[in-house]
Amino acid sequence: MSKPCTVVVGMGPGLGRALVKKFAEEGHAVAFVGRREAEIRRHEAELRAEGLDVTGFPGDAGSQESMAKVFDQIHATYGSPEVLIYNAALIEPSRFVTPSGKAEVKYGTADGWNSLGEPVSVDYLKHAFSVNVAGALDAAKKVVPAMLERGRGTILLTGGVLAFEPWIEWGVTSLSKAALRSLGRSLYKELNDKGIHVSTIAIHGTMQAGTPYDHDLVAAAYWALHQQPADKWEAEYHFRADEADGSDPDV
């Protein structure tokens, strides 16, 4: 009997890798997608060395043409995915109409992000949306028909606390996560009664190894969501270590 296939769009050294590893450890064949081929091959080799059934596919989540080729390759390798995790995002600190006052945005002791500095352009916003939001819809369209035919499936979207209240240094990311949340809730309403579990995971803290927001702990929550019985399904799941988490640190 073949393994169920999970697709993780948005592979990186943090949550992306933790998600790939968790679902593979639980017995899934995992296809993962990222933009940098050298990094994809490195992750693939390291995870396969652990005995995990994974395959990496270079692709641009913001390009429909690129992802069409990727999903054709995934289907040829593993068949129709039963799980889609959309974890891709263009994440850079930015403001809309005023320059950022920070060269780097950093919270706690986690690694920081270099700020764009100047206000974002309309073209930048469109590009970010192609990755952060439109790419999620494109990926869903590629897996939902087979899920509907099968009568089951899981779609999990990586959201965040920024969807609920923008942080001043995260204008484009806040807007994107709010739109992704709305997309996820719409997909939930469309697909919930058809056996397809759609949920957006709102992560309320900065992910960092060895903390309550350790990538492996977050990945375990995704797996638990995939395992949920249908009567427990909800459009949104909040991953928070403390009820106070999620406040705006820029205020």
Q: What digits encode the pLDDT tens for the residues 146-193?
A: 999 999 999 999 999 999 999 989 999 999 999 999 999 999 999 999
pLDDT at site 107: 77
Q: Provide mean pLDDT across the span 188-211.
A: 95
| Three-state secondary-structure class, residue 233 | coil
Q: Is 84 exposed, middle or buried (0-12, 13-18, 19+ CB in 10 A)?
A: buried
pLDDT at site 21: 98
Q: Indicate whether 241 pLDDT > 70.
A: yes
Q: What digits encode the pLDDT tens for the residues 14-68?
A: 999 999 999 999 999 999 999 999 999 999 999 999 999 999 999 999 999 999 9
Query: Please, are residues 94 and 115 in contact by the beta-carbon 8 Å criterion?
Result: yes
pLDDT at site 158: 98
Token pair 């596919």: residue: 57
C-alpha–C-alpha distance, residues 240 and 100, integer Å? 28
User: How many beta carbons lie within 10 A of that of residue 31, not counting itself?
Assistant: 25
Domain regions of the chain by residue span: 5-239
C-alpha–C-alpha distance, residues 74 and 124, integer Å? 30
pLDDT at site 106: 81
Instruction: Please give the CATH number for the structural domain made up of 5-239.
Output: 3.40.50.720
Nearby residues of 187 by Cβ (< 8 Å), 6 or more positions away: 140, 155, 198
Q: What is the CA radius of gyration of the chain?
A: 18
pTM over 0.85: yes
